Structure 1
Amino acid sequence: MKKVYTILTLIGFVFLLITQVSFMPGNDEVQTREQLGSKLFFDNILSKDRTLNCSSCHNPEFAFADTAVFSKGIGGKLTARNSPGLTNLSGRTHFFWDGRATSLEEQALGPITSPDEMGLSIEEAVERLNKNEFYANAFQKIFKAAPNKDNLLKALAAFERTLETTNSPYDRYINGDDNALPAAAVRGRNIFIGKGNCNNCHSGEDFTADRFKSIGLYNGKDLNDAGRFKITKDSTVLGEFKIPGLRNVAVTAPYMHNGKFKTLRSVVEYYNNPSAVVSDGINRDLSLDKPLNLSSQDIDDVVEFLKALTDDRFAKNISKN
């Protein structure tokens, strides 16, 4: 059994390397900000002990999300919140669960300097890049300047803006292919925009209203669950978190800022009757005060619709749960 496990682990590691290579250009191919950002995204040079890179918490196989409740930073430290996916962020106005960053450039700085993540000061990061012959030359070629805080963050953000996905069964369906969605997903879509009222928060091309909501997970005890309040100190936003987009959501489990829900079905079940799942939540949005009264079949259908939002490149990793 141990031998089989070792073989499977090795296969998984090789597959991850292959996946990373598809995004990471070779040294001779770095001609643009986007390519330079991709190179940096997968390079351990930006972590304090050189053991981690951005993809350690944002796995390309899973729409650049993590499959763990909390990701491991340097020294095995755990992050305070679940690592979300990085696809389809180019049109967003706030980043991180609590919205503390207002640009992808500002967001890129956070994980590098966080002591619980990559743990490297921006000054040391810039020094390392300047001492590295490849990066010193690449930044000069692309930015006409030596590596610095500004162009480092611009490169990483440029790469992240390339992670847009629009090649899903749902996209083919709304573009006129009536056979692109199975019947269950079509029913699920009707529930999503009908009695489920899901598009009240998850609207637009990427299924997010770019707002903050409290869905009732905050019980007044854990400040990590206080969300937007930690940034604004406004008591009216206690427990509010950024509404995430739903593209590729079927491969980004577990869900919510704290990874509370392991499956899409458990998420939909929660929204069907929040107080039945979390009885001590406070400041829950009024739109969630009444049960939706979805049947078990309705819930299954909504889950099938959510799965249909998965870009083809990630489809093989859709959870079976």
Structure 2
Amino acid sequence: MKNNKTAVFLFLSTVFLVLVGFQNDDPGELTTKEKLGEKLFFDPILSKDRTISCASCHKPEFAFADTSAVSLGVDGTKGERNTPGITNLSGRPNLFWDGRSASLEHQALQPIQNPVEMNLSIAEAIKRLNDNHIYAAAFQRVFKGPATDKHLGAALAAFERTMETANSPYDRYINGDDHAISAAAVRGRMLFIGKANCNTCHSGEDFTADRFKSIGLYNGKELNDMGRFVVTKDSAHLGDFKIPGLRNVALTAPYMHNGMFKTLKEVISYYNNPDAIVKNGKNRDLALSKPLGLSDEEISDIETFLRALTDDRFAKVNR
């Protein structure tokens, strides 16, 4: 018990140091793109009024997701969509719920200049960094030149690529430890790939097919986010959203692009019988045309399996 309490204390202490922004003014510490990107990620210098950072919405203890349906930007402005976790994004072909970015370098700059998020022009962000002696020296050391939009995106993307996770109870189970997950999680896994047919979309090492799907959460009324259509203008994409990976999903509530589901159980229950929750969802995938017929126990087992995807680095705060 004492060792467990010590581990929790050390983990939360580390998170605290992260959240206060790494108060280290020694530019000699920022020797790599990853280290520079990390400092920038937690520094409110990149927001208009210097009050929020990337980490304000991508909270480390929640697998770099947020805990609200939509995040608050500068001046308390409400965002437009739920903030997803940003672990395991290396190699993803599309980013954001609507897939408008094709690289982490491009994605990293968008929240900075978004008026409902950090609301700072990239030109002003670059000026601030070059006027700051710590950052000016760090960019010279790492990139052999001043801060630029390209260098800023590269640094933030390099840090985001360090957020790969593959050390969960599930990973130990598939690597041969039959006791790494509970009997309920084993049953849940079989349901996930069988009766519930979840792996049609949530496949591969990170449990995403890297495609876009409409699961019926657009009806043109109270649910009016058109998703991928905003980017492509293709009516076939109306209501389509990026299929997220499921690693660490137990920590990233609330769920969906609009944060409408507060728990994993609510998510699974929706897939079990979509019409019971959202009627007349437009362009809904045919795989959801009829109820799955999952019992309450089966829903619970699938939830238990999904919780087994939580990486050990987050295990102490697994809700």
The offset of 1:275, in angstroms, is 1.0
Tell me what 1:67 maps to: 67
Distance change in 2, residues 1:213/1:24 (3 Å): farther
Tell me what 1:153 maps to: 153
TM-score of the pair, normalised by structure 2: 0.93
Which amino acid is the alignment partner of residue 60 of structure 1?
P
Which amino acid is the alignment partner of residue 92 of structure 1?
R
Aligned residues: 307
Contact 1:24 1:35 in 2 (8 A): no
Distance change in 2, residues 1:291/1:25 (3 Å): farther
Q: Could you tell me how far apart the structure 2 residues matched to 1:298 and 1:20 are?
A: 38
Tell me what 2:9 maps to: none
Tell me what 1:293 maps to: 293
Contact 1:80 1:224 in 2 (8 A): no
User: Within 5 A, what are the aligned runs for 1:163-182?
Assistant: 163-182=163-182
- Given the alignment of the two structures, is residue 250 of structure 1 paired with residue 250 of structure 2, yes or no? yes
Identity of aligned residues (%): 65
Superposed CA RMSD = 1.7
- Give the secondary-structure state (helix, strand or coil) at the position aligned to 1:142: helix
Distance change in 2, residues 1:169/1:298 (3 Å): same
Tell me what 2:49 maps to: 49
User: Within 5 A, what are the aligned runs for 1:6-45?
Assistant: 16-20=15-19, 27=26, 28-45=28-45
Which amino acid is the alignment partner of residue 110 of structure 2?
G
Tell me what 1:8 maps to: none
Q: Could you tell me how far apart the structure 1 residues matched to 2:151 and 2:84 are?
A: 24
Deviations 1:1-32 (A, max 9, x none): xxxxxxxxxxxx97752354798877332110
Q: Could you tell me how far apart the structure 2 residues matched to 1:192 and 1:230 are?
A: 31
Contact 1:42 1:54 in 2 (8 A): yes
Question: Mean Cα displacement is larger for which, 27-36 or 184-193?
Answer: 27-36
Q: Could you tell me how far apart the structure 2 residues matched to 1:262 and 1:223 are?
A: 17
- Give the secondary-structure state (helix, strand or coil) at the position aligned to 2:287: helix
Tell me what 1:266 maps to: 266
Distance change in 2, residues 1:25/1:310 (3 Å): farther
Contact 1:229 1:238 in 2 (8 A): yes
Q: Could you tell me how far apart the structure 2 residues matched to 1:257 and 1:199 are?
A: 20
Q: Could you tell me how far apart the structure 1 residues matched to 2:13 and 2:56 are?
A: 15
Distance change in 2, residues 1:128/1:224 (3 Å): farther
Q: Could you tell me how far apart the structure 2 residues matched to 1:256 and 1:180 are?
A: 29
Q: Could you tell me how far apart the structure 1 residues matched to 2:272 and 2:223 are?
A: 26
Q: Could you tell me how far apart the structure 1 residues matched to 2:108 and 2:313 are?
A: 24
Deviations 1:276-309 (A, max 9, x none): 1111211100010011101111000000000000
Contact 1:25 1:38 in 2 (8 A): no
Contact 2:212 2:243 in 1 (8 A): yes
- Give the secondary-structure state (helix, strand or coil) at the position aligned to 1:127: helix
Deviations 1:136-169 (A, max 9, x none): 1100001001000000100000000000001100
Question: Mean Cα displacement is larger for which, 310-319 or 129-138?
Answer: 310-319
Contact 1:251 1:318 in 2 (8 A): yes
Q: Could you tell me how far apart the structure 2 residues matched to 1:43 and 1:81 are?
A: 22
Tell me what 1:208 maps to: 208
Q: Could you tell me how far apart the structure 2 residues matched to 1:87 and 1:75 are?
A: 27
Q: Could you tell me how far apart the structure 2 residues matched to 1:279 and 1:151 are?
A: 47
Q: Could you tell me how far apart the structure 1 residues matched to 2:275 and 2:106 are?
A: 36
Deviations 1:189-216 (A, max 9, x none): 0000011110000000000000000000
- Give the secondary-structure state (helix, strand or coil) at the position aligned to 1:87: coil
Tell me what 2:142 maps to: 142
Q: Could you tell me how far apart the structure 2 residues matched to 1:311 and 1:159 are?
A: 18
The offset of 1:318, in angstroms, is 2.3
TM-score of the pair, normalised by structure 1: 0.92
Tell me what 2:241 maps to: 241
User: Within 5 A, what are the aligned runs for 1:87-126?
Assistant: 87-126=87-126
Q: Could you tell me how far apart the structure 2 residues matched to 1:25 and 1:275 are?
A: 53
Distance change in 2, residues 1:14/1:170 (3 Å): closer
Structure 2: segments with no counterpart, 5+ residues: 1-11
Contact 2:79 2:116 in 1 (8 A): yes
Contact 2:217 2:223 in 1 (8 A): no
Contact 1:214 1:285 in 2 (8 A): yes
Tell me what 2:310 maps to: 310
Distance change in 2, residues 1:179/1:25 (3 Å): farther
Which amino acid is the alignment partner of residue 17 of structure 2?
I
The offset of 1:316, in angstroms, is 2.4
